[in-house]
Chains A and B, each alone.
Chain A
């Protein structure tokens, strides 16, 4: 069982985590949902499309103007409260590395803290424990928040990702986060070259074999862009190819811009794998 705040999910369920940016400058949408009303419309849209989780972020991952704690809170806390009130059943995740922000959004009704910078603030797990929230433990290879990888190297990137995320997961359980509320994420592109992200995708089954539920965040990222030599707006096909491989290897949660397309791919893979019956089954049987 996977417990994400107020919701629980079966062990064979796959979940769509829709990205909702409260930022003026995120790489994919370039501020399309910076205005609160636009961000709220985005939430309504992805919930309608079947997303089980929304991942609300107030700071873009790439370097840029520094956003302090108060500014980050202004961007996300009241918005989380509004989404909580309007959509009582959706799992609310907040993408933050700061414990202080984590505490404020949990008080506003968040279910999940997406620690996208790999345990930079050890207190974030403590906050998750305090509010019985869930936690995503990511691997960024020691990168500081909002830094680009520069001449990174690993003896074995998958082994490093497993060692770090499993270590963080156990540490989270140690400070009181429920074991069924911890996910691990290899964090494609974060502290990684394109080949690192491709290898992590290729060998994702090794992460799944740890037994911790695996979240993947592949959507329109640079490793897809470099692999196919395509700009941000033309990476959906490559993203979905990577999604299919991750799903085949057993990833459970997919952090995405495109909910409908990703859900179709993940469902199709699950049916090929034999874990999900077709919706209809008439051909050759009438």
Chain B
């Protein structure tokens, strides 16, 4: 992570998955994740148009994040320093079941549960404590950016005054979250 991830002007934070199946170039005739997509659209639609920065996981986050912003009518990403909202693009372990892309790793459930609890309760400290190395082993694409979010909020000394876990599911053995935080 280079540069600041959180500007003082940012009051809204949204977490969305970075699954490439969300992208139109990979779409089938039938949307494989209609509920997830609806949750993303609804949550992003509350953000200010043209004032959203991305905190994307390094592999797919940028491409998926830009598409989701455009899809929600938010325009393209802006620089962190100019942003009033931050969209963190990353998700949980891809090793949650035997059918999961990375096959079953028994540690995945606990790893994801800790992140999920933190997102639900607005616990920035818990996010800042995410074990990024374990996250890599568990194919959790969002481990690094979620940890960076937690660390940035803790470092800024700002409070999470509202937290909402809008959607959490793992239809293909990968944990997807849509969460919303409001910073004081």
User: Which residues from chain B contact A285 at a C-beta distance below 8 Å?
Assistant: 19-21, 26
Q: Mark A256-286, 1 if CB is under 8 A from B, else 0.
A: 0000000000000000000001111110111
Residues from 55 to 112 in B contacting A, C-beta threshold 8 Å: 94, 101
User: Considering the chains assembled together, what is the distance between the CA atoms of A24 and B27 in angstroms?
Assistant: 48
Which of A277, A280, A281, A284 counts the most chain B CB atoms within 10 A?
A: A281
Contact status B28-A281, CB under 8 Å: yes
Contact status B29-A286, CB under 8 Å: no
User: Considering the chains assembled together, what is the distance between the CA atoms of A284 and B102 in angstroms?
Assistant: 10
User: Which residues from chain B contact A280 at a C-beta distance below 8 Å?
Assistant: 28-30, 32
User: Which residues from chain A contact B171 at a C-beta distance below 8 Å?
Assistant: 286
B174 adjacent to chain A (CB < 8 Å): yes
B173 adjacent to chain A (CB < 8 Å): yes
User: Considering the chains assembled together, what is the distance between the CA atoms of A286 and B29 in angstroms?
Assistant: 16
User: Which residues from chain A contact B28 at a C-beta distance below 8 Å?
Assistant: 277-282
> B148 to chain A: closest CB distance in Å?
23
> B116 to chain A: closest CB distance in Å?
18
User: Which residues from chain A contact B174 at a C-beta distance below 8 Å?
Assistant: 286
Contact status A286-B26, CB under 8 Å: no
Contact status A281-B26, CB under 8 Å: yes
User: Considering the chains assembled together, what is the distance between the CA atoms of A278 and B29 in angstroms?
Assistant: 6
User: Which residues from chain B contact A281 at a C-beta distance below 8 Å?
Assistant: 21, 26-28, 32
Closest to B21 in A: A285
A-B interface, 8 closest residue pairs, ranked by CB to CB distance from nearest: A281-B28, A286-B172, A285-B21, A280-B28, A285-B20, A279-B29, A282-B32, A286-B174
20 A–B contacts from the bound complex (CB under 8 Å): A277-B27, A277-B29, A278-B28, A279-B30, A280-B28, A280-B29, A280-B30, A281-B27, A281-B28, A281-B32, A282-B172, A284-B101, A285-B20, A285-B21, A285-B26, A286-B19, A286-B21, A286-B101, A286-B171, A286-B174
Residues of A whose CB lies within 8 Å of any CB of B are 277-282, 284-286
Q: What 8 additional pairs, Cβ within 8 angstroms, besides A280-B30, A280-B32, A285-B26?
A: A277-B27, A277-B29, A281-B27, A281-B28, A282-B172, A285-B21, A286-B171, A286-B172
